[in-house]
Structure 1
Amino acid sequence: MADTTNKAGAREYAAPARVNLIGEHTDYTGGLVMPMAIGFHTVGTIEPRPDGIASFYSANFNETIEVPIVTLGRNPRGHWSDYPVGVLWSLMQAGYTFSGFNLRLHGDVPVGAGLSSSASIEVATAIALLGFAGQTMPLKEIAVAARRAENEFVGAKSGIMDQFVVAGGVADRAMLLDCRSLEYELLPLPQGVRVVICNSMVKHQVATGEYGGRRDEVEAGQAILRKLRGIDSLRDATVEDLDACATEMGQAVFKRCRHVVTENARVLAARKALNDGDIKGFGNLMIEAHKSFRDDFEASCSEVDTLVEIAIKQAGCFGARITGGGFGGCTVNVVEIEHADTFVETLKREYKLATGIEADCFVCEASDGALALEAKAVAK
């Protein structure tokens, strides 16, 4: 559905969602992450209009927001329109110019589930606007422009992982992304497993919730490392460096930073496990990552912990952990294909018995990102 033209001259562009296999809350400190794009999508349909107005319509919210392009400034409204309007603002900040347009957005990415509906909207908007203007941008620049919209316009303190993999993911591959250099590596996923995403149905808000507080704590820890150890980023720190600063950091900041440092190490170990075909070792790293997120980062919740506890007891499940910003959302589970259906049935049943909540579960494979979808549509 990417970059196709209908009879009325409107063009369609699509961007997927993403799930992060391992490497949580490391991206905004220049760390390592391992996401993959998945088969939920935001679709943007764009067509010209003659009056210099940028019109954004959300089919999901059944609402239209219109803004004059010439006078567009940083003026977030605090709802869904901030994401596409922010992308327009970000691209204009980068020197791109646009005439009037109607952009219609619709999609099936679960909101608030930790699958990055915001990045899916941002990247779909970015490639739609660029296509509309007859412009192209490299992957890195699209990701940077979309992140700038989320950071500087929306006001969410997210890193670049979401936008990067949503734009540049590749089917059947996980992406190891270095969030400092923006270099990446595509890693093989075993054919005999599926990634099962389970939505706890507990929602969070990244822009205004506790996510921002955790990031503030991480940045406070980095400032102390800079002062006492001459280390600019947690990416370059060791647990021994943290131990040397523990008193000055205090317990909470120390624990947040310990999660980030040990999580970077787990991502590197996970890369080796995938390259070696060691899916059991990969699953064990996922379980360790959840414990760290729960105990050191303290950003899980009882419902998500229950999902993980149920999952790791099931036949064919190699590993399970929370994914996304935290405080609700989804778990990601790596499961043998032949056990996937039974895994989902058992997990949903036992979770409802434990919490009274009916979870949504999705059996997924790694899909192409927006740029690959666009290229495939053009090639047809």
Structure 2
Amino acid sequence: MNKTTYSAFAKHFSHLPQVTAFAPGRVNLIGEHTDYNQGFVFPVALNKGTYVQLSLRDDMQVIAIAKDMDNQKNRFYLNDIQFDNDMPWANYVRGVFKLINQHTQRISGVNIYIYGDQPQGAGLSSSASMTVALIKGLVDLFGLEMDGKEAAKIAQATENKFVGCACGIMDHLISALGKKNKALKLDCRNLSVEYGKIPDSLELMVFNSNVKRSLVSSEYNIRREQCESAALKLNTSSLRDVTIEMLESKQDALTDVEFRRARHIVSENIRVEKLYLAFRDNNLAEISQLIRASHVSMRDDFEITIPEIDTLVEIINDALPIVGGARMTGGGFGGCVIALVPKSEVARVAKVVTKKYPQIVNIQPTIYNFTVENGAFNFNNHKVQEAL
């Protein structure tokens, strides 16, 4: 965030903000569609995300301005928080206040200025970073007692109960609790977390296919229903409790599609656990194999990739030496690919992708130079303000 954006708050509200909070976006290294199956995920927090500036008002009104939405202004009163059909972005703000008011009676009127520096449309979870940043700002502004896990629950509930998006908690939890140069292994059943340090010899690269994601909502719901159907036929409440042996022994009870969907979830959970251990042991060969196998599973068993994404992954993997691997990240049907690449190979891989991807699919890729950073509740937001 720069001083121009900082002074923009003063332009709109005639005074400087009292608090500036930041929450990062994320990419998931491995563990796709496992969250709603009570499984494991392994995301990282990025150095790009959402900034929220706040100041107290002397009434019970909230005025929020979103820089990236053409400085649209949204206002509402804390005793009358309704869904806004005209400004969809504002419902994330409204929902946070509605949900946080159920936890404390100390919230009063606030001025809010919102700005993000993460790429738009890249699937890096801007909604989660915005809600977590706003909650962190309110915690700092009002001196609330709240940890990152509780903040993530409120942020998820905002999307589930107010906005109307049936998302999991991964995006919010990594935005709140990420750690520098580490991935967060989250157990989506009990929300326990462990951190795995990315090996020093590897660098995270993120490639945007620049294929706009389509069919995400409808196909997401279909995949979820298929997983639930498979679990029901396997006499278990969740695929989290299914082993490969159990799945194979009861294959005849499932349709072919249900079997393959379940096989992805079961094997992906195993891969998350193994990648966490491979990070710990600095086992580069295992890391490479797991990343590549995850993409094959998403392509063949879960069927959420598209030809452009598969082409991008293939170009990256072919350009790599024995060490390193690439896979699609996110819900599927477009979006981004992540790769763990030896630092000595980063420039060469970027050059190969920039040349070959447009030749094959006639689309220019975007390559992001992200770093892995702390989440909002592991980050000193006062330093943000001091630096401006």
Give the TM-score, by structure 2 length. Answer: 0.89
- Give the secondary structure class of the aligned counterpart of 2:69: coil
How many Å separate the matches in 1 of 2:359 and 2:184? 36
Alignment of 1:198-209 (within 5 A): 198-204=207-213, 208-209=217-218
- Give the secondary structure class of the aligned counterpart of 2:257: helix
Alignment of 1:100-179 (within 5 A): 100-179=109-188
Whether 2:308 is the aligned partner of 1:303: answer: yes
Whether 2:377 is the aligned partner of 1:371: answer: yes
Whether 2:345 is the aligned partner of 1:336: answer: no
Structure 1 gap ranges (5+): none
Q: CA deviation at 1:379?
A: 11
- 1:15 is aligned to 23
Alignment of 1:1-380 (within 5 A): 8-62=16-70, 63-73=72-82, 79-204=88-213, 208-225=217-234, 229=235, 231-243=236-248, 245-316=250-321, 318-374=324-380, 377=383
How many Å separate the matches in 2 of 1:74 and 1:216? 28
- Give the secondary structure class of the aligned counterpart of 2:155: helix
- Range that drifts further, 204-213 or 313-322: 204-213
How many Å separate the matches in 1 of 2:174 and 2:148? 9
- 8 A contact 1:109–1:117 mirrored in 2: yes
How many Å separate the matches in 1 of 2:167 and 2:359? 34
- Range that drifts further, 61-70 or 263-272: 61-70
Structure 2 gap ranges (5+): none
CA RMSD of aligned residues (A): 2.5
How many Å separate the matches in 2 of 1:156 and 1:244? 36
* Residue 249 to residue 79, structure 1, CA distance change in 2 (3 Å): farther
Cα-to-partner distance string for 1:273-323 (whole Å, 9 max, x where unaligned): 111111221111011000111111111111111110100011346110001
How many Å separate the matches in 1 of 2:245 and 2:239? 12
Q: CA deviation at 1:84?
A: 2.6
Q: CA deviation at 1:130?
A: 2.2
- 8 A contact 2:29–2:329 mirrored in 1: yes
* Residue 216 to residue 85, structure 1, CA distance change in 2 (3 Å): farther
- 8 A contact 1:60–1:107 mirrored in 2: yes
- Give the secondary structure class of the aligned counterpart of 1:334: strand
- Give the secondary structure class of the aligned counterpart of 1:272: helix
- 8 A contact 1:113–1:204 mirrored in 2: no
- 8 A contact 1:170–1:372 mirrored in 2: yes
- 8 A contact 1:206–1:325 mirrored in 2: no
Give the length in aligned residue pairs.
375
- Give the secondary structure class of the aligned counterpart of 2:122: coil
Give the TM-score, by structure 1 length. Answer: 0.91
- Give the secondary structure class of the aligned counterpart of 1:111: coil
How many Å separate the matches in 1 of 2:277 and 2:335? 28
- Range that drifts further, 204-213 or 312-321: 204-213
Q: Look up the equivalent residue of 1:123 and give its one-letter code.
A: V
Q: Look up the equivalent residue of 2:368 and give its one-letter code.
A: F
Identity across aligned pairs (percent)?
34
* Residue 253 to residue 75, structure 1, CA distance change in 2 (3 Å): farther
- Range that drifts further, 139-148 or 313-322: 313-322
- Range that drifts further, 90-99 or 328-337: 90-99
How many Å separate the matches in 2 of 1:145 and 1:207? 24
* Residue 213 to residue 130, structure 1, CA distance change in 2 (3 Å): farther
* Residue 155 to residue 9, structure 1, CA distance change in 2 (3 Å): closer
How many Å separate the matches in 2 of 1:218 and 1:186? 28
How many Å separate the matches in 2 of 1:76 and 1:22? 35
Q: CA deviation at 1:245?
A: 4.9
* Residue 81 to residue 73, structure 1, CA distance change in 2 (3 Å): closer
- Give the secondary structure class of the aligned counterpart of 1:38: strand
Q: CA deviation at 1:163?
A: 0.8
- Give the secondary structure class of the aligned counterpart of 2:53: strand
How many Å separate the matches in 2 of 1:281 and 1:146? 35
* Residue 67 to residue 107, structure 1, CA distance change in 2 (3 Å): same
How many Å separate the matches in 2 of 1:165 and 1:154? 20
How many Å separate the matches in 2 of 1:163 and 1:46? 20
